Amino acid sequence: MRRVAAIYRRELLSYFTSPVAYIILFVFLLANGVTFYFFINAFQGRIDDILRSLYGGIVFWFLILLIPPLLTMRAFSEEKRSGTYELLVTTGISDTALVAGKFLASWTYFMFLWGTLWPFLWMLESVANPEWGVLIAFHFGIALIGLVFCAVGLFASTLTQNQLASASVAMVLNLLVFFMSYFRSFFQPGDLALRYFDYVSPAYHFVNDFANGVIDIRYVVLYGSFSLAFLFVAVKALEWRRWW
């Protein structure tokens, strides 16, 4: 646990001292700020619609799909490219501790990014009365989906030394998860298969549950189990590299 904490601290510090992280933060805030201002005017101040669009519109999904691969692309790729990975493993830190520390750090930074939107929301609170339950549900949903996408990103990062290739692989995997909701059109409402697709579709969870202020606890199991599975595969990918 101490080793996980040490890796976590090191990684988090590297996020907060890296210029790239601040560029990501700036782009993130600017994109959300412009969107937020645009929606305030487009929806003539109707809070429910503004929030629904801010946390479910195209910019939101673009950021959700893009940011985790950008945050995690250098996690192992950079270590391998620069040769520090071998150095790390010789210190006796297990692959599991390494993956866990890096994963927690990337997820923390991911949540920090979404946390920077709270000034907008407090500003909203000063002039209107947004429903805080719905906002909490939104951020809870973001935290859950962040778990999976950060785990996917880390897994992709273990596969290659090239950061761009790592981000691309993660992005493709994320898109596969996202486009799960498009398979809905192949089924009729009420079909069991449709219910399966709905269960694993993040877009569906956001539109039907989180956007309405409802948190279904089974999604914690879903996202938690998927992120654990990807982390496990990431550990195995690192182990595999020692033998091949």
Partner 1 sequence: MVAWRITKPDGRRRRVALNVAAQLFLVGWVLLMVNGWVFYYSWPVDLTEDERFTLPPETITLLESLETPVEVVIPFRFGSDLKGVLERKVFQRASRVLLEMERVSPANLRVVKQLEVGADPDEWQLVQAEYKLESINRIYLITPDRREVLAPSDLAVFRSVDELALGEQTELIAENVVEALTVALRRVVQAERPQILITQGHGEMPIEAMSVFARDIAERGFDVRPINLREVQQIPEETDLLVIACHGTQQGFDGFGRDVVSILESFVERGGALFMTLPFDRPTGLEECLSKHGIDVLPGDVARVGVDNKGLKRANRGFTTPFFNKEHPITRRFEAGKDQAHFYVSRALDGSADTLLMTGEDCWLETTTTLRRDAAEQTGPFRIAMASKGDQSRIVVFGPVFVTLDKHYSGVARQTLLNSIFWLTHQETLSAGSLASETTRRIQLNDKTQSAFFWTCIFVVPGCSILAGLLAAWFRRR
Interface residues with partner 1 (CB under 8 A) are 16-17, 19, 22-23, 25-26, 28-30, 32-34, 36-37, 40-41, 44-49, 116, 119-120, 123-124, 127-131, 133-134, 136-137, 188-190, 195-196, 199-200, 208-209, 212-218, 221-222, 225-226, 229, 232-233, 236, 239-240, 243-244
Which of residues 48 and 172 has its CB atom nearest to partner 1 in the complex? 48
State the minimum distance, in angstroms, from the CB of residue 196 to partner 1: 7
- Are the beta carbons of 74 and 109 closer than 8 angstroms? no
Distance of alpha carbon 228 from alpha carbon 233, whole angstroms: 9
Min dist. Cβ of residue 243 to partner 1 (A): 5
Query: Least distance from C-beta 2 to partner 1, angstroms?
Result: 26
Q: How far is the CB of 158 from partner 1 (least distance, A)?
A: 13
Q: Does residue 124 contact residue 46 with C-beta atoms inside 8 Å?
A: no
Q: Considering beta carbons, is residue 2 or 48 the nearer one to partner 1?
A: 48
Q: Which of 29, 67, 48 is nearest to 211 (CA)?
A: 48
Q: What stretches of 73-131 show up as alpha helix (H) in DSSP?
A: 74-82, 84-90, 95-115, 118-127
As measured in angstroms, the least distance from the Cβ of 237 to partner 1 is: 9
| CA 155 to the chain's CA centroid | 13
Nearer of residues 137 and 171 to partner 1, judged by Cβ: 137
* Contact between 71 and 113 (Cβ < 8 Å): no
The token pair at 111 is 């949540």
User: Judged by CB, which is closer to partner 1: 2, or 189?
Assistant: 189
Amino acid at 15: Y
Q: Are 235 and 160 in contact (CB under 8 A)?
A: no
Q: Which is nearer to partner 1, 123 or 164 (CB)?
A: 123
Cα gap 87→201, rounded to integer Å: 40
Helix (H, G, I), strand (E, B) or coil at 244: coil
Closer by beta carbon to partner 1, 87 or else 214? 214
What's the closest the beta carbon of residue 188 comes to partner 1, in angstroms?
7
